[in-house]
Amino acid sequence: GDILQLISVLPKAQLHLHIEGTLEPELMFELATRNGVLHKLPHKSLEEAQAAYNFHHLQSFLDLYYAGCAVLITKQDFYDLTWAYLKRAAADSVVHAEIFFDPQTHTGRDVPFATALQGISEALADAKTKLGLSSHLIMCFLRHLGPESAMTTLNEALPFKEHIKGVGLDSSELGFPPSLFQEVFELAAKEGFKVVAHAGEEGPAEYVWEAVNHLNVDRIDHGVKSIEDAALCAHLSKAQTPLTVCPLSNVKLKVYDGVLVEKLQVLLKQGMCITINSDDPAYFGGYVNANYAFLAQSLGLVAEEIYELHKNSFVASFLDDEIRAAHL
Ligand code: HPA
Ligand code: ZN
């Protein structure tokens, strides 16, 4: 009751959100129809698509997520996708969003980098004026395509630098450790980009160490497998390296069991900078408030802990200090 009400009205920052993962089945079919590409979708109907959102691990989700992206072709498609998300986010009291996009998922289908970037950026600009919702864009490299393709993508992004706050690393984790991408991330940091990486979602705690030591990350995305390494937890707490945790995603992708969820509360109590986020809400069954609510209900969080998580979302954000302070 009271806790759910608190969650719904607390202004919050959203730091781990893949814009392609906000493509709701309704919009997917609408765009497929508009673009004449219904045949490219793996499912014949909306109901069939929704019924398939039942995953065994990260890869079974990624296969559907990439397939759905086939409907994103024009700048307007990217605008519509982003605008739909921003309106939904505002309804969850999100006042600042740091949004991932996967340029290679689009350039790999001959959709130009600029088409995706401009459609997304124009919606973000409109959100600022029409919804009072600020944002940053973070482009993620697809780790399964390797470091060379990431380097090409970084170079493609340079002309659009003013629209891109940071770089990240996502897609299939196992077998693609962060250290492979050290050179790309060094160059990105030199170009002034903030640096984040998915690590310790399906991969081991060792990959989180690599993201810290080889990529010099400002935040870890997911990072829940850190829980298995006490020395790593101590390091992350001391360095105040934020984790952008996505509880419903972890449940849907069977990343951890209940025991790990409970340890999350212990880490929060120890002062680790944990934030709550929604990852790919159209696929995982809940936007950010649903993720807070799930955690609150499974752990019996009290109001003080909800405040802590909401505060962490701004502390961990890439907002300028002055603006950040105004949110705290
Ligand atoms: N993990 C890795 N790659 C992704 C994810 C995720 O949760 N969502 C979209 N790309
Ligand atoms: Zn993610």
Nearby residues of 226 by Cβ (< 8 Å), 6 or more positions away: 200, 205, 208, 220, 232, 233, 236, 243
Looking at residue 1, what is its pLDDT? 67
Total of domains in the chain: 1
Residue 256, helix vs strand vs coil = coil
Q: What's the gap in Å between 138 CA and the centre of ligand 1?
A: 14
Segment 270-308, tens digit of pLDDT: 889 999 999 999 999 999 999 999 999 988 999 999 999
Closest ligand 1 atom to residue 58 Cα is 1
Closest ligand 1 atom to residue 21 Cα is 9
Closest ligand 1 atom to residue 222 Cα is 7
Banded pLDDT at 262 (limits 50, 70, 90): confident
DSSP of 70-121 = GG--SHHHHHHHHHHHHHHHHHTTEEEEEEEE-HHHHHTTT--HHHHHHHHH
Ligand 1, atom 7, lies closest to the CA of 279
What average pLDDT is seen over the chain? 96
Q: What's the gap in Å between 241 CA and the centre of ligand 2?
A: 17
Ligand 1, atom 3, lies closest to the CA of 171
Give how far the C-alpha of residue 1 lies from the chain's centroid of Cα atoms, to the nearest Å. Answer: 28
pTM over 0.80: yes
Higher pLDDT, 257 or 188: 188
Ligand 1, atom 4, lies closest to the CA of 171
3-state helix, strand, coil in the chain (%, to 5): 60, 15, 25
Q: What's the gap in Å between 99 CA and the centre of ligand 2?
A: 10
- Report which of 82, 121, 93 is spatially closest to residue 7, judged by C-alpha positions: 93
Residue 265 has pLDDT above 90, yes or no: no
Beta strands 166-170 and 274-276: pairing type? unpaired
How many Å apart are CA 204 and CA 201, to the nearest integer? Answer: 8
Q: What's the gap in Å between 17 CA and the centre of ligand 2?
A: 6
The token pair that represents 53 in the structure block: 């959102």
Range of the domain at 282: 2-327
Mean pLDDT of 246-251: 93
Q: What's the gap in Å between 100 CA and the centre of ligand 2?
A: 8
Banded pLDDT at 261 (limits 50, 70, 90): confident
How many Å apart are CA 226 and CA 217, to the nearest integer? Answer: 15
Segment 114-138, tens digit of pLDDT: 999 999 999 999 999 999 999 999 9
Segment 37-87, tens digit of pLDDT: 999 999 999 999 989 999 999 999 999 999 999 999 999 999 999 999 999
Residues in the chain: 328
* φ/ψ of residue 286, rounded to 5: 175, 140
Ligand 1, atom 2, lies closest to the CA of 171
We report the CATH number of the domain holding residue 113 as: 3.20.20.140
Q: Which of 17, 18, 53 to mutate to test the pocket of ligand 1 (most atoms within 8 A of CB)?
A: 18
Give catalytic residue positions. Answer: 201
Could you say which ligand is closest to the alpha carbon of residue 101?
1
Residue 257 has pLDDT above 90, yes or no: no
The ipTM of this complex is: 0.97
DSSP of 203-219 = S-HHHHHHHHHTT--SE
Segment 181-203, tens digit of pLDDT: 999 999 999 999 999 999 999 99
Looking at residue 256, what is its pLDDT? 76
Are 145 and 184 within 8 A, CB to CB? Answer: no
Task: Give me the long-range contacts of 299-303 (CB less than 8 A, separation at least 24).
Answer: 299/261, 299/262, 299/264, 299/265, 301/3, 301/265, 302/3, 303/2, 303/3, 303/6
The token pair that represents 274 in the structure block: 């944990």
Residue ranges around ligand 1 (CB below 6 Å): 18, 21, 58, 65, 170-171, 198, 201, 249, 279-280
Segment 144-186, tens digit of pLDDT: 999 999 999 999 999 999 999 999 999 999 999 999 999 999 9
Residue 263 has pLDDT above 90, yes or no: no
- Beginning with the edge strand found earlier in the chain, give each strand of the sheet holding 94-101 in spatial order: 12-18, 94-101, 134-142, 166-170, 194-199, 219-222, 243-245, 274-276
Residues with CB under 5 A from ligand 2 (ion): 279
Closest ligand 1 atom to residue 246 Cα is 7
Looking at residue 255, what is its pLDDT? 87
Segment 205-231, tens digit of pLDDT: 999 999 999 999 999 999 999 999 999
Closest ligand 1 atom to residue 65 Cα is 9
Block residue for tokens 């984040």: 196
Q: What's the gap in Å between 281 CA and the centre of ligand 1?
A: 11
